[in-house]
Structure 1
Amino acid sequence: MSAHRREFVRALAEKSVPEILRSYVYFSVAEMERMLRLASRYVLLEPLRGIGLELGAGSGLLSSLVARSREVDAIFAVEICEEAADLLLPKVARWVLGDEAHKVVPIIGSFDNLLLPDNSLDFAIEIDAYHHSDDLRVTFTECARVLKPGGWLLCFDRCWPDDHPDWDIERLLSLQYTPEFLAANGYPPDLKLTRRENGEHEYKLREWRAGFEAAGFELCRLCKFWRAVPTREAIKAALSILPLSLRRRLYEPGEERFVTFRWWLTQRWRTLWRNVAGPKDLAAPARWPQMNIFAPRETSVLLLRKKR
């Protein structure tokens, strides 16, 4: 699988940056910028500043956008795939940052073995990397080691509520990738590969908490980002209650469902209420989730601080 991944990245590096982002991280620059603005508004207690670290950086898009800030001096972008670190990270950094691309420093390595000094960094970030950790305690402990006391760790990742049924976790991990997905990601389309075999995990909140508390982190804020339903998609979902013959006269029907329209209405209402009432206090991390935010992608957002 590693050999297929390296060959896939080498071919991808010949393409334009927007094509790389669509194929490798499934984010556009605008979508990632939106995620960061929402995190800055509702999650971060203060701006990220100083020297930082991205764990499992992939293409380095998150690092590059965070490095735009004048308060950020540099970011070490740690990526285990050598080709991604050598070919994709510098290309994306140049495209986003131009003459300041040097602020993103690609490093080939593992987030479980960071070859950096103790207490040397001001903050760390990750997006969809830590759910690939085989042992969250080890991964969090290594991150805590390189952060200064009081340093921040901002995670955009999957985190299930503790009452989520175990049978569904097992179902998710046992899913086999489709031939279309495999072909699009550089694997042979006839390969039998489950999400578990591909290094995926579906951790619950208690597993996250056990990992970061053992490493000396405290949870400062926690919220849930839900995927915002576009208005066009909501209109098609509302029309799904019409007979199929009538819908075919209006547009090309897909797999839209009326529940999507109801969810869109819920989003509109909650967005209106949030604008009227203002953001809730996120200081006490006992509730789940503490706040619902509508964003380009569904994920959980955790803000952790290394204890002083």
Structure 2
Amino acid sequence: MDPAERIEAASKFLLQSPPGEINDVLNDVRNIISDDDSLQSGVLPALREYNITQFTTAEVPGHQHQSIVSSAARIPGAGEDEDGELSQDRYWDPRSRTSFRFDHLSLESSDPEPYEPDAESEPFRAALENASLQYLQAHYHDGVASVFPVAGSSTRFVIQIVANKYNPNNYWSGRWRSEYTIDTSTKTLEGRILVNVHYYEQGNVQLSTTHTVSLALPPAIAPSGGASAASKVLALVEAEEGKYQTSLNEAYAEMGEKTFKGLRRALPMTRSKLDWDRVLGYKLGAELTNSKGVFGQPS
């Protein structure tokens, strides 16, 4: 396998990393590449793709909160060299109106700069953000929410939520991601919920689900509605995520009671339970018969 093939294989492994375990995977693939310089430069695009799609969170420099690193947060054109390649990505946090450079290898943010949002869309975006943070506090132990305006539109907004739970001592990790695009002109809410769970104690079991959401917004919801309209949008999100959480709980229960039991045969081919006491009796009788034969005693 040549170096390029090794880089490609390493990149595929990284993109499939379970929640919170990408550093472990990266350390493992170092043995495949055997060249740290080539590894860092070769797998950087994969790391960038992973961080963006997995809603990696970043500390906002100079502030006491985190923001989501995603395609919606990326500042178009920032950090591109003459060939159009990304030498350093910049993202922005609408909550603090701050842009920052993000290192996809070290996961560190730096070089903060002021970033002014679109004046027309900002009032309703801020209202959606406040409603999202209230929802986050009520339903997530450790979560991060970011709300972005869609470039070139004053009526479209993106809400992103991510929550992670890592428990390596007990061999499990999990991640919840949800993303919703709100269009107040067409009165629609389109989104998706993605859940990834990994159990790896004496085995390797992963759950990966995607649930799509398509809802109609009430006619009264408009940017001019402010906090009241934003609360109604988050009420729809709350109801949808609650239903999906309930469906997951029901699926887990059914999995334990039916699915896993169906993987093994409850009875032998005779369709009757095995009488182990009788089996032991058969064995003992056979041993006694063999012993008589050995010592020449009459049966």
TM range (shorter): under 0.3
The TM-score with structure 1 as length reference comes to 0.21
Give the structure, 1 or 2, with the largest relative contact order (CA under 8 Å, sep 6 or more): 1
TM-score by structure 2 length? Answer: 0.21
Q: Which has the higher strand share?
A: 2
The structure whose Rg is larger is 2
